[in-house]
Amino acid sequence: MCGVIGAIGQGPVIADIVDGLLFLQHRGQDAAGVATFDGTSFRLHKAMGLVREIFDRVDLTHHTGHIGIGHVRYPTIGGGAVDDAQPFMVNSPFGIAMSHNGNLTNFKSLKNELKDKCRRHVSSQCDVEVILNVFADELSRLTTGSNSPPDDPATIDAIFQAVTGTFRRCKGSYSVVAVIAGVGLLCFRDPFGIKPLIYGKRPDGKGTRWMVASESCALVSQNFKVERDVQPGEAILFRTGQPPLPRQVAPSKGHLCIFEFIYFARPDSEIDGISVYKARMRLGSTLARRWEEKDGAEVDAVIPVPDSSRPAAQQMAAKMKRPFREGLLKNRYIGRTFIMPGDANRKKGIRYKLSPVRLEIKGKRVLLVDDSIVRGNTSKAIIQMVRETGAREVHMASSCPALRHPCVYGVDMSTRKEFIARDRTDDEVRVAIGADSLLYQQLDDMVSACRPPNEEGERRFCMACMDGKYPTGDITQAVLDEIESERTVAGSGV
């Protein structure tokens, strides 16, 4: 799911970029990187690990550039390596550095096309290297033979045309930030808007500093005033000392990934005008209503599986008039197990991640509220842990409907075998994870909860992992089989 950030201002931006990455750390804990441009040279640094670990041990004083981008990586094909860490760069045309959040569904065919037809070599397994080379190829063709300087109107127009060409060739989901030497900071969001992207501004001496990020929390935390979300199919060019230059270069077909509200985004973020925190509270309200409608079991305490399920659990407890209790304590030094690379790492991480509070569990009938049930490893281990702590009964509620279909847009659940609910009924899932009862969120309830109350007009989400409907319209069974094969091989280390 990754996190991206970009900034441009009057002076060095490296501090804002690194600080912003700290606020996006929840989106990727595998690797991080930055690239800055000082008007003459690019400076690039990327490594494996957490943001604080990487940038505490290097000297960033040489990153004097007034424009730059950053990235935190969440790998979807095994553990990855530093070779796949972002940003990526090409020297021509102009010099471009780029980072993205998302996943190409035609990565392999595009990589072959770049090699065979464009004479461009892609050496990594990272999607953004393909996007970068496609964009550079489009821009090269549009500017070859031109004597226009990088900041000339003709060059600016070519940049936007190159984004249109990139949209035409790159299939899947991607929100992108890029530095173009001598021009400025470019961002764009694919026509389906599956991944979030937002920008804001802050006074910067006598001018304005602009920042683009995956989530609003990275802006607000650094006193940037949020302007708006980048629209699906839109590109925006930021230049020093000038207002942003937006252009809708492809029709908007917005289908924001609904899993942002279920799990990925920070609760203090707003995405496409929707408060993540309030959406999670509404998810809890609908779960409470369904619990009562199905005459759910009596419980003594409602306990969240920390952290993203906490707002839903609090609201569920309030609506059910049952005590809300912090019965599971999270080790703050362990990352999010869902986004750990590899199933073995996830299973190992669970044992260190949570500790039961015996006083709140022993002898009680408890209702555990989690954001989702994907592979079932976490749920099964937690339920067993709670039983061993002395619970009389252990019930489970999920803020998310049953997940049954591969995600091809950048969430690490791209093979069918990963889903515990794939070929099971709800009751069979209950038995498999060892719960006394199991309540899944209903699809319609989830959509209603994630829409702002009383919102007019149509609000569309990508829910392919739940309903099997892929909004890009190009996902056939052959595509699913190929992606699953690629992910299986990559994950095995073969």
Strand runs labelled E in 207-273: 207-213, 225-229, 234-238, 245-248, 256-257, 270-271
- CA–CA dist 310, 6 (Å, integer): 31
The values of phi and psi at residue 469, to 5°, are -100, 110
Catalytic residues: 2
Strand-pairing partners, residue 177, are: 99, 187
Angle between helix 107-116 and helix 127-143 axes, rounded to 10 deg: 40
> Structure tokens of 290?
């369904």
Query: What 8-state DSSP symbol labels residue 334?
Result: S
Chain-centroid distance, C-alpha 320: 32
Strand-pairing partners, residue 374, are: none
- CA–CA dist 330, 44 (Å, integer): 35
Q: Which DSSP helix (H) or strand (E) runs through 104?
A: strand 96-104
Query: What 8-state DSSP symbol labels residue 261?
Result: I
Strand-pairing partners, residue 356, are: 328
Tell me whether the omega of the peptide bond preceding residue 93 falls within 30 degrees of 0, making it cis: yes
C-alpha closest to that of 5 among 214, 195, 202: 214
DSSP secondary structure of 124-193? SS-HHHHHHHHHHHHHHHHHTT----TTSHHHHHHHHHHHHHHHHH--EEEEEEEEETTTEEEEEE-TT-
The values of phi and psi at residue 361, to 5°, are -120, -45
| CA trace torsion 365, 370, 373, 378 (10° rounding) | -80
